[in-house]
Amino acid sequence: MDVEAIRKEFPILHQQVNGRDLVYFDNAATSQKPLVVINALMDYYTGYNANIHRGIHTLAEKATKAYEDTRHTARAFINARSEQEIIFTRGVTESLNLVASSYGRAFLKAGDEIVISGLEHHSNIVPWQIVCEATGATLRVIPILENGELDMEAYKKLLSPRTKVVSVNHASNSLGTINPVKEIIALAHAAGAVAVIDGAQTGAHVAIDVQDLDCDFYCLSSHKMYGPTGTGLLYGKRELLEKMPPYQAGGEMIKDVTFPKTTYNDLPYKFEAGTPNIADVVAYKYAMDFILGLGRENIAAHEHALLTYATERVSALKGVRLIGTAAQKVGVVSFGVEGIHHFDIGQMLDSRGIAVRTGHHCTQPLMDCFKIEGTVRASFAVYNTKKEIDQLVEGLERIINFMK
């Protein structure tokens, strides 16, 4: 892969921060955007901004077509059976809230159990806690092993006829662990539960085939896959979406409204109330096409090489403790340095133009497992290079020597 050519597509990367070339290693929080995505936003607002689905004028038709083109691309991107199974949301957080609220409140009751894992982002914990409060269901948690993998034996023991939902991430944002989701889903189904997968950290890095996985729901955020903020999607199996009540109500999601009774629109519109985030959905297609154009195997191979190199070099530094050493990982290196607070490391790296994330990464229970408050996290994308990892390592070496 020609990384230098790819980098040219990302204008933001070509700047100095604190007097040095920017090294952007905060991709698990949000990735940067290529020109095709930025231009798609510009083209939409300068050429055909209009409200969709209802208008009969030319701009409205053009905007509607572009919006639905993204659904077309998204279906293929995750290999869903039908475009009716693709619902645009604000991102993974809203997708998970949609499932928890709509499916959870309609189909869970006291005595039922929801299984999540110790690796989850707060957005895959809190919505289920709220559902538990509303329904009387109980939350159960798959423990994690020392290396940051899920304890699959413990998972098997947690499953029972009481298990109604299993909701886990495909990859952990804090540690990078790629979970064996196909096996997790099959075991959930064998117990009679539905399986929800949070794909926030896999959308830009791993090929996703929802039919092969056989998951019931899959969630993506555009902004973590080179697309705009403010959009993403929920995939749901059609038979489940059909029987779920609406999540939000208003325009678009209805067929007929009278004061005594309202009938709801067909899928996917039943779950897309109000004027959607048209511009960002339109541009999301260009982000998915960008990923498909590079090839997900090629992206994964490049990022895996970065991960291997960074793991080797960072773990060799004095006083460094790597957190999360699973066999299968996306490009995330999380670590602490003995005697130096992660915030201080983050700030000192920033003064050298290197952007990393520090803190609990919205996974406080996971940090509690490791008895730490937070980590320093470097997370990679397709435009990162080994040279940038050398810069990170050089920065860390200086910080460690200086602080000693």
Task: Give contact residues for ligand PMP (rule: CB under 6 A).
Answer: 28, 91-93, 121, 123-124, 169, 173, 198, 200-201, 221, 362
* 93, amino acid identity: T
Long-range contacts of 249-256 (CB under 8 A, 24+ apart): 249/273, 250/274, 251/275, 252/53, 252/276
Structure tokens at 185: 């889903």
Cβ nearer to ligand PMP, comparing 179 with 391: 179
Cβ nearer to ligand PMP, comparing 48 with 218: 218
Structure tokens at 26: 């905060």
Output the smallest distance, CB 185 to ligand PMP, in A.
17
Output the smallest distance, CB 228 to ligand PMP, in A.
11
Output the smallest distance, CB 197 to ligand PMP, in A.
10
Output the smallest distance, CB 239 to ligand PMP, in A.
26
Are residues 162 and 316 in contact, defined by beta-carbon separation less than 8 angstroms? no
Output the smallest distance, CB 173 to ligand PMP, in A.
3
How far is 208 from 66, CA to CA, in rounded Å? 23
Look at strands 217-221 and 232-236 and give their pairing.
antiparallel
Cβ nearer to ligand PMP, comparing 93 with 358: 93
Q: Which of 132, 215, 219, 362 is catalytic?
A: 362
* 375, amino acid identity: T
Residues with Cβ within 8 Å of 107's Cβ and at least 6 positions away in sequence, in order, are 164
Closest to 310 (Cα-Cα) out of 300, 318, 295, 322: 322
User: Which residue has tokens 């790597």?
Assistant: 322
Structure tokens at 210: 């929802």
Output the smallest distance, CB 234 to ligand PMP, in A.
11
Length of the chain: 404
Cβ nearer to ligand PMP, comparing 204 with 267: 204
Cβ nearer to ligand PMP, comparing 92 with 306: 92
Cβ nearer to ligand PMP, comparing 291 with 400: 291
Are residues 187 and 159 in contact, defined by beta-carbon separation less than 8 angstroms? yes
C-alpha radius of gyration, the chain, whole number: 22
Output the smallest distance, CB 21 to ligand PMP, in A.
26
Structure tokens at 404: 């000693």
How far is 365 from 367, CA to CA, in rounded Å? 5
Closest to 96 (Cα-Cα) out of 121, 75, 73, 78: 121
Are residues 178 and 123 in contact, defined by beta-carbon separation less than 8 angstroms? no
How far is 60 from 80, CA to CA, in rounded Å? 27
User: Which residue has tokens 């590079």?
Assistant: 294
Tell how many helices (H) and how many strands (E) occur in the chain.
Answer: 15, 17
Taking every pair of Cα atoms in the chain, the longest distance, rounded to a whole number of angstroms, is 73
Output the smallest distance, CB 361 to ligand PMP, in A.
7
Cβ nearer to ligand PMP, comparing 130 with 348: 130
Cβ nearer to ligand PMP, comparing 228 with 353: 228
Q: Is residue 362 flagged as an active site residue?
A: yes
Quote the Cα angle for 97-99-104, to 5°.
Answer: 100
Structure tokens at 333: 């290196």
Q: Point out the residues that are catalytic.
A: 362
